[in-house]
Structure 1
Amino acid sequence: MSNKSLRILIADEQHFNRLRVERWFNQLGYYRVAPVQDLEELLSLVEYGCQPFDLLVINAALPGGKLDLLDFCLDNRQLDRVLIYDGQQAQLPPIPPCEQQKVQVSHASLPDLLSIQRLMAIIDRQRPFVGTVISVR
């Protein structure tokens, strides 16, 4: 059973990408999902939020050079874990081994359901990953 209190933030300029990722979280039982479409929305929610987010799922291209995404994610106490996708396009520097538990970088253009399941099995320890995949239509 998923921990319904987990707070998840999805940041991507493309509405379709945000919607697809949010639906995958919903299929896995996570409903406290906040999708944002630009850097200003992201910064507002993270900086002025009263509770930290358990997970930020962000397209590496979203900051558009206005923010050092890796430093922002590593140094921000309002973000417990981060998945940066499309990381190859953003040419992110290597993540120090001690920080790899907080920030993961995927070269995929969009995370798929299986990668989200695996990540949530780590984040939500009450819900072990059993290897089943929910079909996506």
Structure 2
Amino acid sequence: MPNKALRILIADEQHFHRMKIERLFNQLGYYRVAPVEGLAPMLSLVEYGCEPFDLVVVNASLVCGELDVLGYFLDNRQVRHALIFDGQRAHLPPTLAGGPQRVQVSHAPLPDMTCIQRLMTMIDPPLSEGQYPWPSMLSAQTVG
């Protein structure tokens, strides 16, 4: 069961790309998605937001030459996880499988459902049997 409270930001200059990525998240049950078309709106939302984003998905071509995107996401407390796609355009090395990392880099021109599912499994792992998503449910279960 997806955590519906997760905040996701999508940054891409192509409207079609933003919509396609947002639909992938919607199909998985994530609806707190904010799509933006430029670097300035992305930076504003991240820097001046009242709470951190759980995931920022950004097209590398949007930030290419404008920002040290890896350093920005690694050092930013307002971003818990990031996916940079089309990373080859920005000459970024792809992320190798082998454990959770805060920043993932994909050379794919656009993330697909498999990429998004794999990413969300790391960010929002499925609950094991007997686990409850909210502490209040656990308290109610143990009291009753």
TM-score, normalization by structure 1: 0.85
| Matched residue, 1:65 | 65
5 Å-filtered alignment, 1:52-131, equals 52-92=52-92, 101-126=101-126
1:13 touches 1:62 (CA, 8 Å); kept in 2? yes
Residues 47-98 of structure 1: per-residue CA shift (max 9 Å, x gap):
0001000001110011241211111111111000011000011102677xxx
| Matched residue, 1:15 | 15
Number of matched pairs: 125
Residue 3 (str. 1) matches residue 3 (str. 2) = yes
Q: Aligned partners of 2:126, 2:93: CA distance in 1, in Å?
A: 33
Q: Against the structure 1 CA distance between its residues 88 and 127, is the aligned structure 2 distance closer, same or farther, given a 3 Å change threshold? A: farther
SS of 2:71's equivalent in the other structure is helix
| Matched residue, 1:24 | 24
1:53 touches 1:80 (CA, 8 Å); kept in 2? yes
Percent identity, aligned pairs only, is: 65
1:10 touches 1:56 (CA, 8 Å); kept in 2? yes
Which consecutive segments of 4 or more residues in structure 1 shift more than 6 A? none
SS of 1:53's equivalent in the other structure is coil
RMSD after superposition: 1.8
SS of 2:80's equivalent in the other structure is coil
Residue 50 (str. 1) matches residue 53 (str. 2) = no
Look at both structures and tell me which one has the larger radius of gyration over its CA atoms: 2
Q: Against the structure 1 CA distance between its residues 72 and 56, is the aligned structure 2 distance closer, same or farther, given a 3 Å change threshold? A: same
Q: Against the structure 1 CA distance between its residues 127 and 83, is the aligned structure 2 distance closer, same or farther, given a 3 Å change threshold? A: farther
TM-score, normalization by structure 2: 0.81
SS of 2:44's equivalent in the other structure is helix
Superposition deviation, residue 126 in structure 1: 3.1
Q: Against the structure 1 CA distance between its residues 80 and 37, is the aligned structure 2 distance closer, same or farther, given a 3 Å change threshold? A: same
- Structure 1 unaligned residues grouped into runs of 5+: 129-137
Q: Aligned partners of 1:122, 1:69: CA distance in 2, in Å?
A: 21
Q: Aligned partners of 1:124, 1:73: CA distance in 2, in Å?
A: 19
